[in-house]
Structure 1
Amino acid sequence: MFFAYLGFDAVSTAAEEVRNPQRNMPIGIIASLVVCTLLYIAVSLILTGIVPYDQLGVKNPVAFALNYINQDWVAGFISLGAITGITTVLLVMLYAQTRLFYAISRDGLLPSLFAKVSERKQVPLVNSWVTGIAVSIFAGVIPLNKLAHLTNIGTLFAFTTVAIGILVLRKTEPNLKRSFMVPFVPVIPLLAVAFCTYLALQLPATTWLSFGGWLAVGLVIYFLYGRKHSKLNEAHAEQKQVS
């Protein structure tokens, strides 16, 4: 269930390309969540009405259910639609990663190369190539279930960090200008931390070890490059000199 909803956070990476993010981003995220939740519930009700639920632990439950009632041609059509759907999800996630690299680089935490935008296409072209090549390599050499676990723990850690960051910023920077404010603070951030931590603890020990390695690489990049070139740190240093 968690993995099915993973892509909705990618919508937030397009905030800078939305005319009115304060109004439109919550509408887009919440509306898509509501529609997809209703569709998931409807499909689950239909599937469990066709096939005993204990037989649905397969990778293609919809196609399996249609084969179960001898609707093979419909099952093939559904499988084709599933492949198309997965392709669109991959494109959205790749898009989100390129925008994250762009934002991080613009803040000085990565080399400025990642913040360059193609004059002709008006997109971060280097980010797109780097992300595409990296994803291709990982998909080719790492088993899918291992990638799924790493994706889960990385996303859960990111959600937890963001939730904690909201609590900290509300205390340390109460007057900071915000384009969007999370409602019902601190209840929602605390619930996010609790649920994300619980889900992360259910993952295998090998996943935690792999994640620790990736986290170490990220920390090395930050302390060797990002911390020295951070635009936020530079702004704070200038304020201290002025004061």
Structure 2
Amino acid sequence: MPFARVKPLDAILATAERKSLHRTLGWFQLTLFGIGCVIGTGIFVLTAAGAQKAGPGLMLAFAIAGAICIVAALCYAEIAAMIPVAGSAYTYTYATMGELLAWTVGWALILEYAVAASAVAVGWSGFFSGTILTEFLGVQLPSWLAGAPLALGGIEGGFINLPAVVISLLITWLLMIGTTESARVNAVLVLIKVTALVAFIAITLTSAYFDPDRFNPFLPAGLFGGFGTGVGAVGAAATIFFAYVGFDAVSTAAEETKNPQRNVPIGLIGSLLFCTVFYIAVAAGAIGTVGGQPIMGPNGVPFPAGSEELARQCATYAADQLPLVCSNEALAHVLRQIGWSGVGNAVGIAAMLALPSVMLILMFGQTRIFFVMSRDGLLPEVLSRVHPKWKTPYIVTAATGVAVAIAAAFLPVGRLADIANAGTLYAFMMVAIAVMILRRTAADRPRSFRTPALALLGPLTIAGCVFLFFNLPLDAMLVLPIWGFVGLVIYVAYSRGASHLGRGIVDVHEGDELEPPVPGTH
């Protein structure tokens, strides 16, 4: 039975011990790695979408999403330190709840990483079109080449998002030929992003334009927008939860970490705390200087972020009067509005330079999940085939890149973020369950980090994930069960019979194939 197919923990750990990957990362590098993953499209771009959902309550939305992520990170910290291997939530579930549920988690992670990479590509496109083409070169890309058709109705100004397609395919090519970031380059990119955000916070919070009255009303759409609406502070939290996605990538680097029992928890929790404080300060600066009230529909409910109706409303504003909620490059837009165009353009350039590194890490995470599932026999072995020259799993990387490019071409960033969040919330919930199960089934195993008050924080993580999931827009909620159904069909038709564990092959020798290094480690 699939539920009885629990991969022995000793086999997982023994396999990891035989790997040839070097342990080179310390806690500081891991924290930078986490910050590098987290700070990206969420804060640079989704600030506008979050404001359209919550208004000034965006600050509260960041706090809600951050709090749920921090309790989830505490669960991640214990299990990642205890099982410092690749595969993240998929591997943890396989070791605790069995193959079928592990498959569903791996399948959800595929949704998370690939769609998240598409969202980052769309975010990058906004900065490229706005800062580089328009501000510096004076070139206006035709709307049909710069905008994406809206899923489930309407047009967001165009037919295809060409820059998003180009950057997606470029990152795919880099991953295929084996070009990865070094830890030093990653640190430089993190420094660029953090410097840009520090400058933004300092300028906006001390600006003569800053007006506390802009925070009233604080919750124009209320705290709860209602089931399936995706608006209100909690609805915004469900969307900008995407701003924190990526911290779990720290756990995928556990096999390359020195003293993972100590350093992985520090990297996970440290990067999240840092980013949460930053996000709230950025939201305060943006709203306090130019305002962040949503554009309301005739029924008194904000128009959906990224919708055709909102696009029509935004088109009625002059370029120099464009509200925050209408901008594709929110932070750069704020600085231009208050007379800091040079710094605004610098922020746009910083985002444009840094976002591809986030895409690289997300797409690598996607291929890592595919690789591990293929290694376990749940996906065809061809997906983990390594190129003889490039020494990378080129087939799965190419397939991933094409999928990411297609999604980035035709879907707006807000909708992509909501879809990615659906898969992420499911994976986080399963990690919390896995930690609680291991406390009972492996109580005697050493734990250098123990989640404090797990009896409280474990259920809180589960409840928080379920709570945010049901505050996503209805169409985003429906994607997960539909995607899950497709996955179950594949599992029944292929994976159940091909599974190494199901065929009695318990000890998988990972060293037989070359696995590429994690970006940011070599």
Q: TM-score, normalised by structure 2?
A: 0.41
Are 2:290 and 2:334, in contact at CA under 8 Å, matched by a contact in 1? Answer: yes
**AA partner of residue 156 (structure 1):** L
Are 2:242 and 2:418, in contact at CA under 8 Å, matched by a contact in 1? Answer: no
Range with greater deviation from structure 2 (221-230 or 181-190): 181-190
Tell me the number of residue pairs that the alignment of Structure 1 and Structure 2 aligns: 238
Residues of 2 paired with 1:177 and 1:110: CA distance? 32
Query: 1:224 Cα shift?
Result: 2.1
Residues of 2 paired with 1:141 and 1:132: CA distance? 15
* Partner secondary structure for residue 186 of structure 1: helix
State the match for 1:8 in structure 2.
Answer: 247
Is 2:496 the counterpart of 1:227?
A: yes
Residues of 1 paired with 2:501 and 2:367: CA distance? 21
**AA partner of residue 57 (structure 1):** V
Match of 1:151 among 414, 420, 439: 420
Query: 1:122 Cα shift?
Result: 4.3
Are 1:118 and 1:124, in contact at CA under 8 Å, matched by a contact in 2? Answer: yes
Q: Structure 1 residues 191 and 235, CA, compared in 2 at 3 Å: closer, same or farther?
A: farther
Query: 1:200 Cα shift?
Result: 0.3
State the match for 1:241 in structure 2.
Answer: none
Residues of 2 paired with 1:16 and 1:183: CA distance? 24
Query: 1:11 Cα shift?
Result: 2.0
Query: 1:155 Cα shift?
Result: 0.8
State the match for 2:406 in structure 1.
Answer: 137
State the match for 1:99 in structure 2.
Answer: 368
Match of 1:29 among 268, 278, 284: 268
Aligned-pair Cα RMSD in Å: 2.9
Residues of 1 paired with 2:373 and 2:358: CA distance? 23
Residues of 1 paired with 2:477 and 2:287: CA distance? 34
State the match for 1:200 in structure 2.
Answer: 469
Are 1:15 and 1:25, in contact at CA under 8 Å, matched by a contact in 2? Answer: yes
* Partner secondary structure for residue 232 of structure 1: coil
1:13-67 deviations in Å (ceiling 9; x for gaps): 2222334322222222222223322322333343344333436434433223212
Are 1:163 and 1:189, in contact at CA under 8 Å, matched by a contact in 2? Answer: yes
Aligned positions of 1:16-165 closer than 5 A: 16-54=255-293, 56-59=324-327, 60-118=329-387, 120-165=389-434
Higher helix fraction: Structure 1 or Structure 2?
1
1:118-156 deviations in Å (ceiling 9; x for gaps): 455443332222211111122223343332221111111
**AA partner of residue 476 (structure 2):** T
Structure 1: stretches of 5+ with no match in the other structure? 238-243
Are 1:21 and 1:180, in contact at CA under 8 Å, matched by a contact in 2? Answer: no
Residues of 1 paired with 2:386 and 2:330: CA distance? 42
Q: Structure 1 residues 106 and 200, CA, compared in 2 at 3 Å: closer, same or farther?
A: same
Are 1:7 and 1:93, in contact at CA under 8 Å, matched by a contact in 2? Answer: yes
Q: Structure 1 residues 173 and 232, CA, compared in 2 at 3 Å: closer, same or farther?
A: farther
Are 1:156 and 1:196, in contact at CA under 8 Å, matched by a contact in 2? Answer: yes
**AA partner of residue 41 (structure 1):** I
Query: 1:181 Cα shift?
Result: 5.8
Query: 1:213 Cα shift?
Result: 1.5
Residues of 2 paired with 1:122 and 1:63: CA distance? 40
Structure 2: stretches of 5+ with no match in the other structure? 1-61, 63-240, 294-322, 507-522
1:69-113 deviations in Å (ceiling 9; x for gaps): 222222122112222232222111111111111111112211222
Residues of 2 paired with 1:183 and 1:107: CA distance? 33
Aligned residues: percent identity? 41
Q: TM-score, normalised by structure 1?
A: 0.83
Query: 1:236 Cα shift?
Result: 9.2
**AA partner of residue 262 (structure 2):** R
Query: 1:235 Cα shift?
Result: 4.5
Are 1:21 and 1:179, in contact at CA under 8 Å, matched by a contact in 2? Answer: no
